[in-house]
Amino acid sequence: MHALIKNFIQSERLPASFVAVAQDYYLPLSEQVAGWHLEVDAPLGVAINGGQGTGKSTLARLMSVYLSEQYGLRTIVLPLDDFYKTKAERLELGLSVHPLLATRGVPGTHDLKIGMECARICLGYEKKSITIPRFEKETDDRAPHDRWYTVDAPFDIVILEGWCVSAKAEADSAMETPINDLELDEDSKGIWRSYVNTMLREQYQAFFKLFAKTVLLRAPSFESIVGWRKKQEYKLREKLLSSGGLAGFSGLMSDAAIERFVMHYERLTRWMLSEMPSRADACLYLNEEHGVDRLMVKNND
Per-residue pLDDT of 141-195, as tens digits, reads 999 999 999 999 999 999 999 999 999 999 999 999 999 999 999 999 999 999 9
The whole-angstrom separation of Cα 26 and Cα 36 is: 15
Radius of gyration of the chain (CA): 19
CATH code of the domain made up of 19-287 = 3.40.50.300
Per DSSP, the three-state class of 249 is coil
User: Where in the chain are the domains?
Assistant: 19-287
Residue 300 pLDDT grade (very low, low, confident, very high; cuts 50, 70, 90)? low
Per DSSP, the three-state class of 119 is helix
Task: Give me the residues paired with residue 133 across strands.
Answer: none
Q: Whole-model pTM?
A: 0.93
